Structures are given as structure tokens and as C-alpha cells.
Amino acid sequence: MGRSFCVVSWLLVATVPMACSFHRASDDSLGLGDAALGLDVGLPPGDGGQAFQADANVTCVRTSPMTANVPPDILILLDRSGSMNEDLNGTMCPNGCGANSKWSIATTTLKSFLPTVEGIVNWGLKLFATPDNVCIVSSTAEIPPQINNAAAINARLMTTDAGSSTPTTVALMNAATYLKTLADSSPKFILLATDGVPTCGTAACAPGVNSTGMADQCDDANAIAMVKTVHDMGFPTFVLGIGTSQAPGDGTLSQMAINGGYPRNGTPAYYPIDKAQDLQDAFQTITGMVSSCFYTISPALTDGQRLTGVKADGVALSPSDYTISGNSGVQLIGQACDDVTSGKIKRIDVQVDCIG
């Protein structure tokens, strides 16, 4: 029979280490047998003064109070395929597109944007493919996610150009495998920025898809499935399509965005980048989402536990109002996130079921 506990927080999620089970007490204390164990985890001044309480069966959870206000890790998975040298309309310029190429627009935007948000997100960078004109992707990140990382990422981009295939499937898998090795408690996300359908596969490409001769087989189905696999490993994925709206692969990127857990509220489901400002806006939106409405469960859930629901001010949220980020916490999305940010929602209850 499953047992459960609730974690209640305003940007704060925690439980308390125990040697035996305890029951719910008053708002200011937790009961241990007939003795009360005081717990003062009130929020800093200015956060509304909401209190924290938790109840649990200790055979399920042993943890310590920890704030959820930690910078998220976002690994930018940046496509450096040959088609990134085209302009945003997918046209190869006779003398090179220069500042108008997809690659130049993407890297220039990153260089100007990252310094403005490097204090609230641990940004990292992973490029794909790794060598030129092949389908190989490294097993590490070019720049590991860290706070105040804009200069390191920008320096790496200055020494990189576009000119490979588009091995999206293996890039996603290697990115998730790498993120799994990171020991920090931050929520972890992948931000996939690509300009076309995945290649380096075994399927014939759809009519109109230009494989550039470097990998003449497409890999749409495997890439779509891999985003879901990576999400289930605990690494949600945002998808940005650079110059891809209404182009071949539009449907593929939309399904990848849906499988990644953070589709855009509109059509297409991914973030379409048709001009430089679109890219700036997409990064700004995503940064706001992951840095404002995430509730950490620490330590992460074990194989014997599962997150079963979320309540806002005592009312159960719809599954469409949140997404589970692996086994470390939940992310409120859409109106639920807006209501937390505006102060309309005062309390979030994360329900965890202990199995066995």
C-alpha cells in the first residue's frame, strides 16, 4: 500500500529527517510521538511570511529543509550544421550570408543576451556535430553549466563555425547522459536550437528536405522518440527552430517540443525563429519560465517514490498546469505559473506517494 506526504512551500520545499514516523501538527511545529519538534523555515521578509509544514512516513523520505530558489542548469544544444550558413529564409547567399546567416544571428544573439541573465541561470553549451561534416557528437559539454558563464560561452562561439550534419538524436542522448553526471541540486533543462530536420539516420528524407550531401538519410522518428526518452530521464527540452517555420521538418520540431514537456502556447508548438528578435524573445521567455516557477524536492525522489499531484491553495491543479522535471521537482506552467508570479496563488502543495 502506498504512503504519501505533502510538501508545502512558497519557493521553498523540504521535509524533515526523522528516526521514526511523525504526524501533522500545528502550522508552527511537527509532532514526533507526543513531543513537538519546532521547525522555523519562514520566508525572508518581503515574501509574504507564508509558513512551511510537511508530513511524511520516514520509511519513504529522509531529507533536510532546502530552498528551491536555486539557479536552473540550462544546456544550450546548438546546431552547427552546414545549413546554418544559409539565411533565415533557407537561401544560401552567393558570397556567403555573413551577419545574415542563421549561425551568425544565433551566436550574436547569445553573445548579447547571456550577459543579461547569467546571474539567474547556470548556462552551458554543447555543440552538434562535434567534428565537421560527420555525425559524431562528443560525450561532454564544450562549456559546463555554471553561474556567470556568458564570457566563457561567447569565447567558445567565437572560435566555432557551422559546417556539419544534424545528428539531433545522438546529440540529445549525449546531452542527457552528460547532465546526469552533474552533482548539483539545480533543475536541469536542455535548450535545443536547430534549423532543420534531424539527419544521420536510416530513413529517406521527405520531399523538399535538403540533406546537403553530408548525411543523406533523415532521422525524424528517432529524434522525436529521443526527446521523450530524455524528458523521462529528468531533462525537459525546449525546442527552437531557426528559420524553419512552414518549412520541411516543421511538424517534426513541433512533436519534439511537445515530447520535451515545454511546448509553446501556440502553433507551431516549438519556438519559431524568423528574425533576430524572435530568438531574443524566446530566450527571454524560457529564462523566465525556468527561473520563477520551479519547486525542488531535495534530495530527489527515489525509485520507491513518485510525484502524484500538485495543489494550489488547497485546490488540485490539472496535469496541464505543471510538468514533472525528472525526480527532482515540478515546474508550474501557463496560467498556474502566471498566478504564482502575480501573487494570486499563495501556497503550492507537492504530493509524493511512497510506493511499497
| 115-165 confidence digits (pLDDT tens) | 999 988 999 999 999 876 689 999 999 999 999 999 999 999 999 999 999
User: In this structure, is the dihedral angle defined by the CA atoms of residues 225, 228, 232 and 238, taken in order, positive or negative?
Assistant: positive
Share of the chain above pLDDT 70, in %: 72
**pLDDT band at 114; cut points 50, 70, 90:** very high
Instruction: Summarize pLDDT for 308-340 with one digit per residue, the tens.
Output: 788 888 899 999 998 777 666 787 888 998 898
The DSSP bridge partners found for residue 191 are: 76, 238
**Dihedral angle over CA of 323, 317, 16, 45, nearest 10:** 100
Instruction: Summarize pLDDT for 69-90 with one digit per residue, the tens.
Output: 578 899 999 999 999 999 998 8
Q: Inform me whether the pLDDT recorded for 59 exceeds 80.
A: no
**Dihedral angle over CA of 336, 342, 345, 349, nearest 10:** 70
Highest mean pLDDT among 1-5, 108-112, 310-314 belongs to 108-112
Q: Which of 102-106, 272-276, 302-306 has the lowest mean pLDDT?
A: 302-306
Residues 238 and 260 sit within 8 Å (Cβ to Cβ)? yes
Separation CA 264–CA 254 (nearest Å): 9
pTM of the full predicted structure? Answer: 0.73
Q: Inform me whether the pLDDT recorded for 62 exceeds 90.
A: no
Q: Under DSSP, is residue 199 helix (H, G, I), strand (E, B) or coil?
A: strand
What one-character DSSP code corresponds to residue 99? G
Q: What is the pLDDT of residue 298?
A: 64
Domains belonging to the chain, first-starting first, are 3-64+299-354 (no CATH), 73-291 (3.40.50.410)
Q: What is the pLDDT of residue 67?
A: 35
Separation CA 243–CA 240 (nearest Å): 9
Separation CA 79–CA 321 (nearest Å): 30
The DSSP bridge partners found for residue 189 are: 74
Angle at 195 between CA 190 and CA 196, to 5 degrees: 105
**What's at 130, amino acid-wise?**
T
Q: What is the pLDDT of residue 247?
A: 57
